[in-house]
Structure 1
Amino acid sequence: MKRIALVIGTAVVGLSTLTACGGGASATPAPQNTPAQSTPAQSTPSQSTPATGAAKLSTATVGNFGKIVVDGTGRTLYVYDLDTANPSKSNCDGSCATLWPPLPAGAGTPQVSGIAASLVGTVTRSDGSKQVTLAGSPLYYYANDAKAGDANGQAVGGTWWVIGANGKKITTQASSMNSSGNSGS
């Protein structure tokens, strides 16, 4: 009997770990504005800087979210509810970080446009790499965003959010958009 309880307990813990990042295909529905995908994109998001340069942050108007924070190439950035901002700590590693790649800090001070420089910082991840933060919250890409202006990661798992220039997450739900970013009719 104890063996059965141990097996069931292990299975529950394993499933909890797999769904913790909110990116599992079976754990959360696909965003309404994109077709369901069973696997994350295999390509890494284009980075806003070369490996030796500093990260770049700016703002862009995306969907019905208003002005949100994007990288230097216009790719949407997200924050994760399970991270902490004070002190800054990323809790997205392993398979979570594959689906939600961190915005690397690069070398030097992150460059900003339309964002208060005092809100921008870095945090050291568990693997020793540096990740850019905004108001203490670590910033991430979503692997299923194919191009600048995509915000397919909004509200995934009820824990991933676009972020405003003020450092606050935006919890507005995505409107129905077509691939060019215009409302479908």
Structure 2
Amino acid sequence: MNSTRRKALLAAPLTSLALLTLAACGGGAADHGAASEGGAAKPAKPAKTVSIKTADSELGTILVDDSGRTLYGFTKDKPGASNCDADCIAVWPALTSSKDVKAGPGSKASLLKETKLGEGAEQATYGDWPLYYYVGDATPGDVNGQGLDGEWFVVAADGKLVKKTV
């Protein structure tokens, strides 16, 4: 076996291990409270226009974006303020938009707000919860982040975290 092929065969399991390690992130407050350069976590690239709606799932009626991707809340966040640092954002990208996020079918406009993240981006919040995606959700409707580390939960239409398991 040549060395290039051997390296490729070794890289696949290592890549999988790295992704699993990232997926397990959540740890203690120090893992999520550290700030990046400039004192704030760097947000994911802002979307052009975003709306929030509800969808039926195995956890009940939950919040999703226009594409049906599940939205999560982080129990270590403060009401309306993110406590997810740059390492955390790599696994839990914030729902950001350079324009106002709109309330779609099933969601309540009165619960939808935004918080500034810097660089002109704003993170959508619903109720008290800044909203995030989970990189482990491959397709619309996935809820693979539910309950991870006892800190990440889908958000219901009433703005509360759904803490049951699948």
TM-score, structure 2 as length reference: 0.70
For residues 120 and 26 of structure 1, what CA distance do their matches in structure 2 show?
A: 25
Aligned positions, number? 129
For residues 51 and 118 of structure 2, what CA distance do their matches in structure 1 show?
A: 23
Question: Residue 75 in 1 paired to residue 72 in 2?
Answer: no
The one-letter amino acid of 1:140's match is Y
Displacement of 1:111 in angstroms is 3.5
2:47 corresponds to which of 46, 51, 62: 51
The structure carrying a bigger helix percent of its residues is 2
Displacement of 1:23 in angstroms is 4.2
* Cα offsets for 1:35-69 (capped at 9, x unmatched): xxxxxxxxxx9x9xx8332x211111112x11000
1:97 corresponds to which of 89, 103, 110: 89
- Residue number in structure 1 paired with 2:146: 154
Greater shift, 117-126 or 141-150, is seen at 117-126
For residues 97 and 25 of structure 1, what CA distance do their matches in structure 2 show?
A: 10
SS at match of 1:57: strand
- Residue number in structure 2 paired with 1:140: 132
- Residue number in structure 2 paired with 1:117: 109
Runs of 4+ in 1 over 6 A off after TM superposition: none
* Cα offsets for 1:67-87 (capped at 9, x unmatched): 0000010000000000011xx
Equivalent pair of 1:57/1:111 in contact (CA under 8 Å) = yes
- Residue number in structure 1 paired with 2:24: 24
SS at match of 2:97: coil
SS at match of 1:89: coil
Q: Alignment identity in percent?
A: 36
Equivalent pair of 2:55/2:64 in contact (CA under 8 Å) = yes
Equivalent pair of 2:101/2:124 in contact (CA under 8 Å) = no
The one-letter amino acid of 1:121's match is K
For residues 120 and 106 of structure 1, what CA distance do their matches in structure 2 show?
A: 15
Question: Residue 172 in 1 paired to residue 164 in 2?
Answer: yes
User: Considering only aligned residues, what root-mean-square deviation do their CA atoms show, in Å?
Assistant: 2.4
Any unmatched runs of 5+ in structure 1?
Answer: 1-21, 28-44, 175-185
TM-score, structure 1 as length reference: 0.63
